[in-house]
Amino acid sequence: MRGNVMFEKVYDINQLNEKVSQEGLTMVYFGQPNCSVCHGLKPQVEKKLAEFSEDVTFLEVNTFDIPEVSGEYQVMTVPVILLFLDGREYLRKARFVPIEELYKDVKKIVDGVNSMS
């Protein structure tokens, strides 16, 4: 991927479950169209985490499209960012996400995973 992280939009709970359960790192960005915090945060996440586009699969979910995520992934507010490693939730950030803290956490996880391979 060039430049920015491209979040792949997911519209179905089964597709989301399948992608999250894959081996490796998967980040899911949960938001809603009417959420101003979501719209402000997503471009920052894309810019700050672009260097991880080779290591992490980035997905985006509109919680209006897949209301089941609230129960299945305990997403009760937006935005929520979840990072999965081999299908298991490894990191959760919700509502007001300090972007530098997110970057450091993701870098530490990516570096750890890469050092094991």
Task: Please provide the DSSP assignment of 78-92 as one string.
Answer: S-EEEEEETTEEEEE
Domains of the chain, first to last: 8-115 (3.40.30.10)
Point out the residues of the chain with pLDDT beneath 50: 1-4
Longest CA pairwise span in the chain (Å): 41
What is residue 3's predicted lDDT score, i.e. its pLDDT?
Answer: 45
Q: Which residues are CB-contacts of 72 (< 8 A; sequence separation ≥ 6)?
A: 13, 17
Task: Dump pLDDT digits (tens) for 61-93.
Answer: 999 999 999 999 999 999 999 999 999 999 999
What is residue 6's predicted lDDT score, i.e. its pLDDT?
Answer: 79
Indicate the pairing of strand 88-94 with strand 25-31: unpaired
